[in-house]
Chain A
Amino acid sequence: MATISIEHLSKSFGSTDILKDISLDVKDGEFLVLLGASGCGKSTLLNIIAGLEPIADGEIRLDGEVVNDVHPKNRDIAMVFQSYALYPNMTVERNIAFGLEMRRISKADRKAAVLEVATMLQIEHLLARKPAQLSGGQRQRVAMGRALVRRPKIFLFDEPLSNLDAKLRGEMRTEIKILHQSLKATMVYVTHDQIEAMTLADRIAIMKDGVIQQVGTPQEIYSKPANMYVAGFVGAPPMNFVEVDLIRRDSQIGINLPAILKGKPKDYFLPLETSKQLEARENTRIILGLRPEMITHTAFTQSTSAEIECDVELLEPTGADTLCVIRLAGHPAKARVSPLLACGPGESMAFSIDTTQVCVFDADSKKLISSS
């Protein structure tokens, strides 16, 4: 059993507030990812869970026990650092065993434990080396080994993959996920990489300026982002935002979507699913959030879609999909179409917009009004 419960936590460095009234629960065996841009306070939050930073205000409980003033070494937590923080003067074996050594575990037991972990991570042939003689990926494994060898209740990861090249990052990501499934330990993972967050997490907590914006499963975060920040942060390419008026035409609520066809402005009416929240905002300014895959080619589309035709300014082939840059309400927006059905550059093309999936945000508060 290992749960983390954070209540009304605040932290400031000098006059700068780093964390503002954070409340968060991590369930036993859960993989929680703290996602956010640099400086949002996610690493500070992780350090606080580890006990490396003192808390100004609030409470943090591990397994229901308040640990505000418990020293890191007594929290039964292990942490993997971004720079790996391997001890340069020690061999890999001693690096991994150091935590056990500090806990006065006998030499024979240490050796056995190190060997077991090293075998699991496939680094047993590196045990006699110093960190300087290892590649980035190998250092990363040693850092993982150092955390694993103590068999702690909770693992903390502070951007552990950000110093690896893209291919290795993908491999290690898979390994961490396998590790989590086999250990069933509680893990908190900090990253600024939304793909890492989406692929690894049971739940994601998105942070901005020391405030948690949303906590939810990757799917919830993706399809029902709580506000425009979350919507724009998750997903690549990011969600398109179109500022438009919410109107009613022939008893159907919807929006007027200005596009450009053959160089001339052309407005399309986009019907939206009626809801109380939308009706209350009739004739006000809203922001429509459209993910690139919601704007796609017209073939094989469902009847729930609206169709528009407009000029394509730019094509960005990515292999699996081709991104078309079109202009909606005066701003560039990206549509994701099949490379087989994409038009040529400078031509115009018909797109279908899946109106059941769109997100509607309040133009002032930037918060989600409704999504389907």
Chain B
Amino acid sequence: MANPKTLPGANGKRHLFGRLFIWTLLLAAAVLYLGPIYVVLSTSLKDLAEIRAGALLDLPHELNFTAWREAWSSACIGVRCEGLRPYFLNSVIMSVPSVAISTLIGALSGYALSLFRFRGANIIFALMLFGCFIPFQIVILPMAQTLGYLGIANSITGLIVVHTIYGISFTTLFFRNYYVSVPQELVRAATMDGAGFFRIFWHIMLPLSVPIIVVSVIWQFTQVWNEFLFGASFTSGGAQPVTVALNNLINSTTSVKQYNVDMAAALIAAAPTLVVYIIAGRFFVRGLTAGAVKG
């Protein structure tokens, strides 16, 4: 092996400047991204007097969670003054089934498309991929009509259906690309052993799929939880998801603009996706690249 110290660029001034440049750039990027989060967090912990008096970047004088409490349970959204809590629960009720169902269907269809290469499988896959590129705005009107026909307009069920359907394209893509690297012989061996389509899926494929399930869950959860347009278009009043409620909370000013409550509400609405990322984030990157490497 070559001595790393003798490699070109390993030593001397140029190396030092290069390092300095990289570190500065990274630091600047970090400040750029973390700065707004700092402002939001510190503002949410101040009271209104402090906000009016102090500078934006000052630390709060004391940890004051009043604004958080208000945002969670008593802030007024429209005429209801119950805070974000009911809408937060709406979002949970909406995202959990849509994430679970779309992941399961994506796994099944990805499995069928990659390991049971039936006639036309590639065409069907290509058509499903189209789903990834359709902008939300295009489908709003027909989707609203469809939900109306189905009698699930203005309901969380309606949003679950919409998000599940929308997610299938992505989850199918994930699972299909993951299963393509699974050796075909595994399916053949299981077929010889007497397992059918669903038993192979259940006993062999799903246990192998943990990394890609994590990817699919994070992706879908982020999409569904953060989604605003469908929520705003297809629901109103009590059925709205938290993103729409947050928007309404901030827009429904009664007298004074309560910046601290707004900030706390924004953080509450963003918390679940952050938590999911922190818990499962490292699986995310690992899962995205898992298909490329063979075990």
Where the two chains meet, the residues of A that have a C-beta atom closer than 8 Å to any C-beta of B are 47, 50, 52, 72-73, 77-79, 81-83, 85-89, 98-99, 102-103, 132, 146
Contact = CB atoms under 8 A, between A and B. Distances in A.
A134 to B, nearest CB: 13
A73 B295 contact: no
B192 A83 contact: no
Contacts of A47: 188
Interface stretch (B46-54, B193-201, B257-265): B193-201
Interface of B: 183, 185-186, 188-195, 199, 203-204, 207-208, 295
Which of B183, B193, B194, B203 is most buried by chain A, counting CB atoms within 10 A of its CB? B193
A77 B192 CA distance: 7
Nearest to B193: A99
Contacts of A85: 183, 185-186, 188-189
A73 B204 contact: no
A87 B204 contact: yes
Given A89-B204, A89-B208, A79 B189 contact: yes
B190 A52 contact: no
A141 to B, nearest CB: 15
The SS class assigned to the B binding surface is helix
Contacts of A103: 194
Given A87-B204, A88-B208, A88-B295, A52 B191 contact: yes
Contacts of B207: 89
Contacts of A132: 295
A102 B194 contact: yes
Nearest to B188: A52
Contacts of B204: 87, 89
B230 to A, nearest CB: 37
10 contacts: A52-B188, A52-B191, A72-B191, A73-B192, A77-B192, A78-B192, A87-B186, A89-B207, A102-B193, A102-B194
9 A-B pairs closest in CB distance? A89-B207, A99-B193, A73-B194, A102-B194, A85-B189, A85-B185, A81-B185, A85-B186, A79-B192
A72 B186 contact: no
Contact of B199 (A50, A83, A102): A102
A302 B208 CA distance: 66
Given A82-B185, A85-B183, A72 B195 contact: no
Given A87-B204, A88-B208, A88-B295, A98 B185 contact: no
Which of A78, A102, A132 is most buried by chain B, counting CB atoms within 10 A of its CB? A102
Contacts of A86: 189
A87 B203 CA distance: 9
Contacts of B188: 47, 50, 52, 79, 81, 85
Which of B189, B194, B295 is most buried by chain A, counting CB atoms within 10 A of its CB? B189
A99 B295 contact: no
Nearest to B184: A85
